[in-house]
Amino acid sequence: MAFKNHNSEKVHDLAFRELGILVYAFTTGKSINGREYAKVAREGRDSVYRSLKFLTKNGYTVTTTEKINGRLVRATRLTSKSVGILMNLGVQENSALPDSQYCLLAIS
């Protein structure tokens, strides 16, 4: 589904599931795993993981390996591309966190 702005210009091609994941991360700043997203959204775990993979493949998120609390974890964060889309849609960010802290997924 393509979302359009007030000038009927195409904004992005995200499905509501992918958009929901981005909105959740952007507004809460919570770092949770795919299973926890599935519980929050009542989506299947595999469906959530497919959406996370889509977001990374299409440049809405970036995944890195980082050391967090002494453990190596894979962290997936929002990119400026996704933050820009969310702000253009009028989504209010979690102002308590810097942009680099929008972490979607952390798996050891």
What is the tens place of the pLDDT at every residue in 5-53? 444 455 567 888 888 888 888 887 766 677 777 787 777 888 888 888 8
pLDDT tens, position by position, 86-107 = 888 888 776 665 554 555 554 4
Q: CA 1, CA 31: separation in Å to the nearest integer? A: 27
Its pTM surpasses 0.85 = no
Residue 57's pLDDT band, with cuts at 50, 70 and 90, is very high
Q: What is the dihedral of CA 32, 14, 23, 80, to 10 degrees?
A: 90
What is the arithmetic mean of pLDDT over 52-56?
Answer: 89
Domains and CATH numbers, the chain: 3-107 (1.10.10.10)
Task: Determine the Cα–Cα distance for residues 9 and 5; give it in Å rounded to an integer.
Answer: 6
